[in-house]
Amino acid sequence: MKLYSYWRSSSAWRVRIALSWKGIPHGTVPVHLVRDGGQQHSESYREANPQELVPALADDGRVFGQSLAILEYLEETHPDPPFLPPDFAGRAVVRQMALAVACDVQPLQNSRVLNYLRDPLGLADGPVAEWVRHWIGLGLRSLEELARRHGDGTNYLHSNSLSMADLCLAPQMYNARRYHLDLRPYPALVAIDAHLMTLPAFSTTRPEAQPDAE
């Protein structure tokens, strides 16, 4: 298996955690999202992922994009240890929380969106950062409530075991800190994130631990 990744990509980090958690041997191909005008736009990478986004995962002669599709693929091909609960309702809740981050928060802070706000729309860096904080804050507010309803409020988002939702939470919290969002309104998420970062699958795959980190 080969993961196309960028050290600071929160979507790629989800997959790095999954590969580590499941102990799946793999290589990593760094794709620099800024250098050379963005290597995600190169012809060779477009061949791997026509969406020109990281991550992408190559396995067995095929390449997949979209981190959540990749996570589901890894879960189905390597079910042990699982990151989806055994019951249908539990799975739906975990997917609800993962998608709340992956569909409704992360896309609004992706670099191509922020670049478009700057040019051609003419927003300065201050308002752009404000935009990011606004959307992350809104997403975390609902996630905090969901964590209280479905989790233990201290270790995991759902029930008392690791799930795909946690794989989305930690990278999102990292980005919230990067943009200096006040995290005091989200004590359950802060506690869960702190616990997750004690797990080797999270700590060893964090952005700063990547070979392409700057």
Ligand X SMILES: N[C@@H](CCC(=O)N[C@@H](CS)C(=O)NCC(=O)O)C(=O)O
State the residues that interact with ligand X by CB under 6 A. 9-11, 33, 38, 40, 53-55, 66-68, 102, 110-112
CB of 114 to ligand X, least distance (A): 8
Return the number of the residue (53 or 136) whose C-beta is nearest ligand X. 53
Check: CB of residue 54 under 8 Å from CB of residue 11: yes
Return the number of the residue (66 or 142) whose C-beta is nearest ligand X. 66
Return the number of the residue (102 or 140) whose C-beta is nearest ligand X. 102
CB of 85 to ligand X, least distance (A): 21
CB of 137 to ligand X, least distance (A): 19
Check: CB of residue 102 under 8 Å from CB of residue 11: yes
Residue with tokens 């992956």: 102
Residue with tokens 């012809």: 43
What is the rounded distance in angstroms from the CA atom of residue 71 to the CA atom of residue 58?
13
Return the number of the residue (28 or 155) whose C-beta is nearest ligand X. 28
What is the rounded distance in angstroms from the CA atom of residue 94 to the CA atom of residue 97?
5
